[in-house]
Structure 1
Amino acid sequence: MDGALWGSLNLLRKASLPWQESDVELVCDVVDQLAIAIQQAELHRQVQQLNINLERQVQTRTAQLQLAYDFEATLKQITDQVRDSLDEDQILESAVKALAKRLGVGCCNAAIFDIEQGTSTIRYEYAAGIPPSMGKVSQLADFPEIYEQLLQGHHFQFCSLLAHPERGTVSMFACPILDDNGVLGDLWLVNQSFYEFNDQDIRLVQQVANQCAIAIRQARLFQAAQAQVKELERLNRLKDDFLSTVSHELRTPMANIKMAIHMLDIILRDLGMFKTRENPLDRYFRVLKDECQREINLIDDLLDLAQLDSQQTSLTLSEVSLQSWLPKAVEPFLARAHNQQQGLEIEIAASLPTVKTDLSYLERTLAELLNNACKYTPVGEQISISASVDDQSESEAVVVRVCNSGVEIPISEHDRIFDKFYRIPNSDPWKHGGTGLGLALVKKLVERLEGAIHVESCPGKTTFVVQLPIA
């Protein structure tokens, strides 16, 4: 068929019966049909073989894809467990347990290196029927053939030649836990002596070791940050304790100095020493009284802040109607604003609910804000105080706004102005000076009243917004 010989068809008959031409033609036709049938059978066989081969390839590829999927799923599961913790021991425990169960090994442990001390400490071990070694410390120098390779970032597997007294003859695989900064520790897997860790096992262990390294670095960074935060908190407490102690120690002598200045003032006036304001003695004496009062105010502010921080004083809550209380609280500042050629106006909403607050805290808050407004508002500018219901807040609250024109606070300073001792440079046109504690004290007072305060500023205008809870 097609020039190829497939075989032959042999026919025998008696010599007395010669082959007729028609017989020969019939045999030739049969042979042709037989060749066609044989060719079709061969083609069918080839097609079947191709189908079998293709099915095997599909099964093989499916198995490979399933293996890859299982590998990625396992790795993701282990990674999620490892990365969910910021505790080194928990990280290593999760990795060791997951690897031991996934690979079905008899033992798996994780150790952390101390390069300075030259030690390796097993931090967690998962062992099935094998005496555990958790907590065991090994000297790196005692096993150079092992740890030199691990410190260089190499993994390896081997089979013990001599039987271990506890584990017997086993096969082992060691993989370093390392990142770009160096080796942090290692992972060990122990199994039967006839077991060989394949490429898939090794790849999984390496990936888990990498995830452990990342998680451990993150945990150490977090712990370092936490330690710094605790240290800063400790230093801040020491600072506050120091300021409180110093303030208490200074209060008595400053009170005595103020009393002595007052008595000296009486005596000098009786002697006629202050008859004219041009007298240098009068000017020096006024400086002495002003600076004494400034120091007393500083001490009082420091002590008030210390009490607020420690929450030593309890609140005396009462319901306050701002319609009647606010005008009286503003009245002492009217003369000051007039003398400094500043306008001062009050705007209170018609229907305003009462607020539940500590009146002394509220009075101190408003006084500090108005004092700052008078201090920093230029000549000819306006100071306004308003009270209204806060419609934008999720919880019902009354908003008190203290606004002054002619001055603005840069956005970069909005958070800093509530820090202790912070003062905005070059923003005191009247040169009144200050301690830098006023707004820090205001914020503490408002927070103690379960309210909130923030500053809003635009060109030529600054507004302090105080939110107070409704009764």
Structure 2
Amino acid sequence: MNTISKTDLPLILVVDDDSAMRLLLVQVLKQEGYQVVEASNGEQALDAFTRLKPDIVLLDAVMPVMDGFTCCSKLRNLTDDDGTPVLMITSLEEQESVDQAFEVGATDYITKPIHWAVLRQRVRRLTQARRATKDLRQQAEREQLMGTVAQRIRSSLNLEEVLNTTVAEVRQFLQVDRVLIYQFVPEQSGVVVVESVEKPWPSTLGQTVAGLCFPQNCIQLHRQNQVQATKNICAERFDSGYPDFLAKFQVKANLVVPILQEEEPWGLLIVHHCATNRQWQPLEVNLLQQLATQVAIAIRQSQLYQKVQQLNTGLEQQVQHRTLQLQKALEFEATLKRVTDKVRDSLDENQILQTAVRELALALNVDCCDTGLYNLIEATSTISCQYTNSLSSSQGLVTRMADYPEIYSQLLQGQFVQFCKTFYSPTHKQVTALACPIFDNQGTLGDLWLFKPKDCTFDEQETRLIQQVANQCAIAIRQARLYETAQIQVRELKKLNQLKNDFLSTVSHELRTPVTIIKTALQMLEITIDREYKSFSGMAKPTVECGPAARYFEILSNECEREIKLINDLLRLQELNAGTRSLEHAVIDLQDWLPRVVEPFFRRAQSQNQRLQLNLSPNLSPLLSDSFGLERILTELLNNACKYTPPEETIIVAACTEGGVTKLSVSNSGVQLSQQELSCIFDQFYRIPCEEPGKHGGTGLGLALVQKLVASLGGSIDAESTTECTCFRIELPLIALTTRSNGTAAL
């Protein structure tokens, strides 16, 4: 056997029509230790390139018939060109020739006369780069092959499939004529178990090879994991009939790698080259050794799998039994989930219980399932829901607990009961019955009854499912009853709220008449006093100069006005809540209308040493709305602003149109509200706390009324308060909508 070469001399193809120059190039390159082949023209170069696959091509640019540029272009177009470096040799130094060389695929160029040191350096650099590229590609291909085999081993327990994949991939990768796996059998012989062979070479698959055909020391070498690499079978001398065996299958070179199992040879991974002799490379040997290791893993994996299969044979019945149990558990779990979902999704007690008995009956395949609800005061149980296949219906049947004390005493204590029961019918059918209580921490609410044929019993899994369903039923019943209690309370609260509204409406109407009479009487009293008692005209004077009677009269008049406003606000709120207030829509030109509404408040603000500003946007569009309601909204907001804004502070009324919406705002500085106050500001009868409770007066209905009015106009209002500034913002559609009492919208 030959020693495998550790290095390959790079092969350089020199192409030049000048024989003298070609001779010089060949000598220089051989002195550097390269293998060199020559070509005198482009056609010879293409032929040599195709046959020999050189590592580098030195190509003269200027040659007759086919110049170097054309030859380089054709080299690059060859299907088997894998990026072989081409060093163009030219006497042309202009930039155009250099560009052309690179355009046709030259890797580098050198000009004549040749600077030999430069040539050596560039050839050395290209050779190293070429070798590195080939090594990387081969490494990638090796890794891909190893990955393919390893993946096949991981994904398949079919040893034959794994071995067939291995030999096919190896033959393709190494480009050899035959790859086979030989397995040792007792009595020092073996058989070819898998093979991949290229036509027309003969197949060795299934061939039995006696141990005597191998060299005498081969088994020892195999145990030592040594590789046998033969580049020329005919040139080797063997002490057995091994060459004759190889000649039978036309083998000229072979590579043999042992496959070890627990340090003993299981078989051989063998590569044959039949067409020519072959020098086996270290990388090829290393690859085959790695693959032999992977094959050994696959064999071991297959052996372990076979042992597992043998063990599984004895456990098959247990596995099947366990599988049935698991399947049954999954079905029971699905049943419980359906019942649980119904408990969560429904508040109808009867519907939930009907679902429970149906799901249990179908899941357990029983003859009948029903549920009874207890009346603990009367000590009775009434069957409320039932699902039956073969037994007669007993829905609505009432059972006295005293008639079956042994059963109901256990059920009331939260214990299930299983026994045999006879139905007193014309057939006197006997069944196995199981009763399970529906109970929670507050007591027993009812029970679940299930019936099977008399020879059947309820096992532990079935009993557990029934108890879990009973627990869900207990939750459902409590939940449904709590909901019903809550609904009753809601209905009662609605009645009370309606009574409150009716009371307020009635009281407001009843109070309006006497308060109106009082107001009229006050007006007449003022006229009479002014006419008959001239000396009492001091009521027109400032408060500090008025007499006690004038001050009392003023208090009476103010309180009367406040009561009238309170009554009117209550009545308007009632109308808005009931949806009975009719709106009179008209086109409002806000540019003219707003100044008229705000005008009275300029004088009031000035008298209170406040600043009032009106900011109207130029794009302010006309608004179709109820002018009375809109005026009341702005008036109420301005009244509040004037009431609560400190002296020297500013009140701003602004209006603009954006995106089909009219935006109004009333803001005042010097006032800041907390988030808690903002959350209650639109509540009825809510008044903002202040240091002087009676200073500002008011009914606490103004902003609640504003919110209702804005909603009736199809708009929205919100309040915001920052440092020393509070702002109310209103948005109204250009075509105002009102909400009817039935929840629909209309103009």
State the TM-score bracket (shorter-chain normalisation): 0.7 to 0.9
Pick one of 421, 441, 451 that aligns with 1:180.
441
| 2:492 pairs with one of 231, 243, 247 | 231
Q: 1:155 aligns with which of 409, 416, 421?
A: 416
Q: Compute the displacement of 1:280 (Å).
A: 0.5
> Structure 1, residues 53-111: CA drift from partner, whole Å, max 9, x if none?
13334333333332222222222122223321111111111111111122222221112
| Alignment partners' CA distance in 1, 2:687 and 2:673 | 11
Moved more, 191-200 or 222-231: 222-231
Does residue 347 (structure 1) correspond to residue 611 (structure 2)? The answer is: no
> Does 414-423 or 59-68 show the bigger shift?
59-68
SS of residue matched to 2:555: helix
User: What's the offset of the Cα at 1:47?
Assistant: 8.2
Q: Partners of 1:400 and 1:428 in 2: how far apart?
A: 31
Among 591, 600, 604, the alignment partner of 1:323 is: 591
Corresponding residue for 2:666?
402
Q: Name the CA shift for 1:56/1:346 in 2 (closer, same or farther; >3 Å).
A: same
Q: For structure 1, list consecutive stretches of 5 or more residues without a partner in the other structure.
A: 1-44
Larger RCO: 1 or 2 (CA < 8 Å, sep 6+): 1
Residue correspondence of structure 1 range 22-61 to structure 2 within 5 A: 50-61=311-322
Q: Is the 8 A contact 1:421 1:436 kept in 2?
A: yes
Offset of residue 230 of structure 1: 2.1
Residue 77 (str. 1) matches residue 341 (str. 2): no
The superposition leaves residues 428-469 of structure 1 with CA deviations (integer Å, 9 ceiling, x where unpaired) of: 788230111111111111111111112111221111111211
Aligned counterparts of 1:410 and 1:47: Cα–Cα separation in 2: 76
Q: State the alpha-carbon separation in 1 of the partners of residues 667 and 308 from structure 2.
A: 92
Q: Which amino acid aligns with 1:145?
A: E
Counterpart of 1:165? 425
Partner of 1:266: 527
CA distance in 2, matches of 1:131, 1:205: 22
1:306 pairs with 2:574: yes
SS in 2 for 1:295: helix
How far apart, CA to CA, are the structure 2 residues paired with 1:252 and 1:79? 62
**Residue among 364, 367, 376 paired with 1:103:** 364
One-letter identity of the residue aligned with 1:288: L
Matched residue type, 1:419: D
The equivalent residue for 1:416 is: 680
1:453 partnered with 2:717: yes
In the TM superposition, residue 427 of structure 1 has moved relative to its aligned partner by: 6.7
Contact 1:159 1:193 in 2 (8 A): yes
- Percent of aligned pairs with the same amino acid: 52
For 1:81, give the aligned amino acid.
K
Cα pair 1:377 1:429 within 8 Å, conserved: no
Change (3 A) 1:367 1:93: same
Q: What are the Cα deviations for residues 227-271 of structure 1, in whole angstroms up to 9, with x where unaligned? A: 222222221111111011011111111111111111011111121
- In structure 2, do the counterparts of structure 1 residues 51 and 449 end up closer, same or farther at CA, with 3 Å as the change threshold? same
Could you list the per-position Cα deviations for residues 288-309 of structure 1 after superposition, in whole angstroms to 9, with x for gaps in the alignment?
0000111111111111111111
Q: Quote the residue 1:32 is aligned against.
A: none
Q: Which amino acid aligns with 1:405?
A: S
In the superposition, relative to structure 1, how do residues 108 and 47 fare at CA in structure 2: closer, same or farther (>3 Å)?
A: closer
Q: Separation in 2 of the partners of 1:137 and 1:341?
A: 84
Within the candidate set 506, 510, 515, 1:254 is matched to 515
Q: Deviations over 1:108-162 (max 9, x none)?
A: 11122233343322221112243322222333344322222112111121102x5
Compared CA separation, residues 390 and 73, structure 1 to 2 (3 A)? farther
The structural deviation recorded for 1:358 is 1.3
Q: Give SS of 1:125's match.
A: strand
Mean alpha-carbon deviation: is it higher for 131-140 or for 174-183? 131-140
Report how far residue 217 of structure 1 moved.
2.2
Range moving further from structure 2, 276-285 or 419-428: 419-428
Of the structure 1 ranges 295-304 and 456-465, higher mean CA displacement relative to structure 2 is found in 456-465
Change (3 A) 1:254 1:46: closer
Of the three residues 431, 436, 443, the one matched with 2:695 is 431
- The equivalent residue for 1:26 is none
How big is the alpha-carbon RMSD for the aligned residues of Structure 1 and Structure 2? Answer: 2.2
Check the 8 A contact 2:335/2:360 in 1, yes or no: no
Of 258-267 and 317-326, deviating more is 317-326
Partner of 1:93: 354
Q: How far does residue 203 in structure 1 lie from its aligned partner after superposition? A: 1.3
Q: Tell me the distance in 2 between the aligned counterparts of 1:325 and 1:46.
A: 98
* Map of 1:374 onto structure 2: 642
Cα deviation for residue 163 of structure 1 reads 4.4
- The whole-number CA distance in structure 1 between the counterparts of 2:364 and 2:351 is 20
Q: Measured at CA, do residues 460 and 427 of structure 1 come closer, stay the same or move farther in structure 2, by a change above 3 Å?
A: farther
Q: What's 1:288 paired with?
A: 556
Do the aligned partners of residues 223 and 415 (structure 1) sit closer, same or farther apart at CA in structure 2, a change above 3 Å counting? farther
Segment of structure 1 superposing worse, 460-469 or 312-321: 312-321
Report the counterpart of residue 478 of structure 2 in structure 1: 217
**Equivalent-residue separation in structure 2 for 1:114 and 1:410 (angstroms):** 54
Deviates more, 1:128-137 or 1:281-290: 128-137
Q: Choose from 433, 442, 446 the match for 2:706.
A: 442
> Which moved further from structure 2: 245-254 or 447-456?
447-456
- Per the normalisation by structure 1, the TM-score is 0.84
1:286 Cα shift?
0.1
Indicate the residue corresponding to 1:194 in structure 2. 455
User: Does 2:509 correspond to 1:245?
Assistant: no
TM-score by length of structure 2 reads 0.54
**CA positional deviation for 1:181:** 2.4
User: Tell me, which stretches of 5 or more residues in structure 2 are unaligned?
Assistant: 1-305, 736-747
Instruction: Measure, in 1, the Cα distance between the counterparts of 2:365 and 2:691.
Output: 73
CA distance 1:118–1:339, change in 2 (3 Å): farther
Q: CA deviation at 1:279?
A: 0.7
Give the distance between the partners of 1:429 and 1:337, measured in 2 at CA: 22
For 1:146 and 1:114, the matched residues in 2 are separated by 16
Larger Cα-atom Rg: 2
SS in 2 for 1:194: coil
Q: How far did 1:48 drift?
A: 7.3
Cross-structure match for 1:358: 626
CA distance in 2, matches of 1:54, 1:104: 29
